[in-house]
Amino acid sequence: MIVAQIALNMTARGYKQTLVIDSAEVTLHPMVTLKDNYDYSAADWCLLWGWAYPWACTSWVPGYPPGLDFTYSTGTLLIPMADLRAGTPPASTPPVIWFAAINGVVSGTASNTLEGQIIDGINQAFVQSPYIRKAATP
């Protein structure tokens, strides 16, 4: 449901979903925090958040800029978008060009309520990012 909602938003902005990484311009990898995180840090994301998503700890996800405070509760949905035009991991380190965090939506809430909260959060992340548009090709 999460991947489908993200794909729906990206398609509405002119992108086409592909499973062939060599033909992709960007990649989005949703993940969920497994623990509460409160920190002031510039450390690597993997060390701070303890993600279980395999690609997240391959050393190409950038660290935070110095002096950043953040709080993510358990169950926060994170959606980084990386630019693959410069290459793909592990041969290169594509930059994260957009990042959404929907705080604490994956919880013990009833599934019908939870699904609505997740969908609303994903949609709101894209509403707040109207600049995410695929340039028209000539």
Point out the residues of the chain with pLDDT beneath 70: 37-72, 107-110, 136-138
- At residue 2, the pLDDT reads 92
A 10 A CB-CB count for 94 gives 19
Using DSSP's 3-state secondary structure scheme, residue 119 falls into helix
- At residue 110, the pLDDT reads 63
Using DSSP's 3-state secondary structure scheme, residue 118 falls into helix
Distance CA 117, CA 121 (A): 6
A 10 A CB-CB count for 93 gives 16
Which element (helix H / strand E) includes 9? helix 2-12
- At residue 134, the pLDDT reads 85
Mean pLDDT score across all residues of the chain: 76
